[in-house]
Amino acid sequence: MPAQQETELEAVNEDLVSMQDDVRVDFGWDLKYDLQSAIALQQSCLGVDAVNCATKRLITTLQEAEEIAILGAAVEPEDLLLLSDNCQFVAADGSVGVFDELPPQLAQSAWSRLALVVSDGDGGEAMQRASQQKIPFALHAHGDNQDEWQELLPVLKQNCPTLILTHQCPQSIEGMHNPGGFTDGDRAACIVAACGIPINKIRLIGFRSDKIGRWTGITDPVRKLRKLKWMDAVLDILRGTLF
């Protein structure tokens, strides 16, 4: 049987999930491929201990934090220097690479305060680095990333103490979550919101829709900018819901 989750990470606003249908229409994607990838990821994680009670552990960590900074693909080292030493981090995919550009002592501190990496598997070497440090992960399945998550998953199974599985399908999938969102960055914000974190504890850093952040994986620039407009739409819903 699939590993049982103690707590479902539900979208704080139903529009965050229904918008995923709008995204599929905009890009001409078929829901069946999202579902196929999600089911394959679910089946690949049957019996994985890191999935058991993963959401419970994450919620506890985030609710105990004084402040949570969600890092997007445009984050720069100087952005982090302004944050409190008690700030916890949630990083969107390759944005974790910014930690290694900090002075060594600050980098070590930042890695120790990384509560979650939210990834669809295309973050490159930074993903390997984070998994080797036993950082919790939220691994996402969508229609055209099966090769990416299949490559990353064995490393996560070996190293990751907490593994949350996310998808973007309207139906429920046992052992997986759909908190809403589209890109890694806005999905990270949706996950934090689903953990019950009030907006006054959340800071978005490195979120840009007018340019492609340097921590973005290999991508089509024109299509990526279209995706970032959808990211803005997701974040607007979150702001209106949590305020």
Give a yes or no: residue 96 inside a domain.
Answer: yes
Mean pLDDT of 205-223: 88
Give a yes or no: residue 70 inside a domain.
Answer: yes
Give a yes or no: residue 107 inside a domain.
Answer: yes
- Based on the structure, what is the number of domains in the chain? 1
Nearest residue to 4 via CA among 52, 44, 49:
52
What pLDDT, on a 0 to 100 scale, did the predictor assign at position 215? Answer: 87
Q: Residue 38 corresponds to which tokens in the numbers above?
A: 């999600």
Give a yes or no: residue 114 inside a domain.
Answer: yes
The confidence band for 4, taking pLDDT boundaries of 50, 70 and 90, is very low
Give a yes or no: residue 6 inside a domain.
Answer: no
Mean pLDDT of 77-84: 93
Percent share of the chain, pLDDT over 70: 98
Give a yes or no: residue 9 inside a domain.
Answer: no
List the domain range (segments joined by +) for residue 171.
15-242
Q: Are 184 and 92 within 8 A, CB to CB?
A: yes
The confidence band for 6, taking pLDDT boundaries of 50, 70 and 90, is low
Task: Name the residue with tokens 């990270």.
Answer: 188
Q: How far from 127 is each of 17, 73, 133, CA to CA, in Å?
A: 26, 13, 10
What tens digit of pLDDT does each residue of 121-140 get?
A: 987 778 888 888 889 999 99
Q: What is the mean pLDDT of the chain?
A: 93
Give a yes or no: residue 175 inside a domain.
Answer: yes
Rounded-to-integer distance, Cα 191 and Cα 23, Å: 19
Count of C-beta atoms within a 10 Å radius of residue 6: 11
Rounded-to-integer distance, Cα 170 and Cα 57, Å: 25
Q: Does residue 5 surpass a pLDDT of 60?
A: no
Mean pLDDT of 161-182: 96
Give a yes or no: residue 1 inside a domain.
Answer: no
